[in-house]
Amino acid sequence: MVVLGGVVALVFTPLTVRLARWVTSDDWSLLDGPGRAAAVGQFRLAVVQVVAAVGAGIALTYTARTFRLSRRGQVTDRFTKALERLSSGEPYVRLGGVLAMEQIVQDAPDQGDAAARVLNAFVRKEAPPAATTTLTTAQLAKKPDAQVQEALRVLTAARPRRGGSGVRVDLAGLHLRKVQLAGAYLNGARLEGVRLSEADLRGARFRDANLKGADLTKTDLTDADLKGADLTGADLSSALGLTAAQVLQAGSLIGCVLPDAVAANSAVAARLSPRE
């Protein structure tokens, strides 16, 4: 109302004539009656146009804010429904929940951290531990369930950087034999004691990951990035596609079991010593 009162004062009061005279400066005295009237009219028109532009900007800002709030509400609603599916007793419903969570991250990248935390908790709940006192190795699953595999795929995909992605994958102590994670993003992940035997980890990124005591037998590590990874006590004795160059980029190699061809490398052999 204050703005509207100001507009009325500028357009429909003698103040308009004074402002028009001030704007035209010395030219005002050179104008005759019709010229001054035209100048005042042009000034009024300019004021109206400016006010209209400001009003349009305010309306656009309000509309954008309303859209953001509405979109945030929709994302929250979708997130809640995906959580309900993940907690279902039916495997195919849980699988749908994983895929719904992936779609949410694609549509709203700023939800990447929240989705990563949920999917990591889901994997830890659904995947069996690598070894327990009540579950023998023979009873462990030959490969992860479909919903676990999909959750791992989404969780370890190269996530969008917008909004940050500070959540580190935590698969420590899980049984994930024959999992398919080619190209997986596992930088800085907690993987100590994980069983990834016979897994497809071609091109996976393990930079600065904790792989202490991990079982990577018969795992395909072709082109995998092991820079800074802690391989203390890890079993890579029958890993496929592993080279000395990859291993030498790792952090600790103390107690690590490597394929004979790789362990025979003099530089690698020197780092396998406890004196490393």
- Per-residue pLDDT tens for 139-175? 666 788 899 999 999 999 865 444 445 688 999 999 9
The gap from C-alpha 253 to its chain's centroid, in whole angstroms, comes to 31
**Per-residue pLDDT at 250:** 94
- Percent of the chain, pLDDT > 70? 75
Q: In the prediction, which pLDDT does 137 show?
A: 55
Can you list the pairs that 253-260 forms with residues at least 24 positions away whose Cβ atoms lie under 8 Å? 256/231, 256/232
In this prediction, residue 179 carries a pLDDT of: 94
| Residue 138's CATH number | 2.160.20.80
Are residues 104 and 241 both part of a single domain?
A: yes
pLDDT above 90: percentage of residues in the chain: 51
Does residue 187 register a pLDDT over 90? yes
Number of domains making up the chain: 2
**154 and 43 fall within a common domain:** no
Q: Are 136 and 156 in contact (CB under 8 A)?
A: no
Evaluate whether residue 82 is within a structural domain: no
Residue 7 has pLDDT above 70, yes or no: no
68: in domain = yes
Shared-domain flag, residues 131 and 112:
yes
pLDDT of residue 9: 58
DSSP H or E segment with residue 147: helix 146-155
Residue 8, domain extent: 1-77
Residues 125 and 233 reside in one and the same domain: yes
Considering only residues 229 and 6, tell me which one the structure prediction assigns the higher pLDDT. Answer: 229
Same-domain status, 145 and 224: yes
Average pLDDT on 59-79 reads 75
Q: What is the Rg, in whole angstroms, of the alpha carbon atoms belonging to the chain? A: 33
pLDDT tens readout for residues 241-262 = 999 999 999 999 999 999 999 9
120, two tokens? 């990591």
Instruction: Assess whether pLDDT exceeds 80 at residue 230.
Output: yes
Q: Which of 20, 45, 77 is the last residue of a domain?
A: 77
The pLDDT, as a whole number, for residue 162 is 47
Domain check: are 72 and 17 in the same one? yes
Tell me, yes or no, if the pTM score tops 0.75: no
165, 259: one domain: yes
**Residues 117/200/202/235 CA torsion (nearest 10 deg):** 90
2 plus 96 within the same structural domain:
no
Place 189 in a pLDDT band, splitting at 50, 70 and 90. very high
Burial of 138 (0-12, 13-18, 19+ CB in 10 A): exposed
Answer yes or no: is pLDDT of 68 > 50. yes
User: Residue 138's pLDDT band (boundaries 50, 70, 90)?
Assistant: low
End position of a domain, from candidates 30, 58, 77 = 77
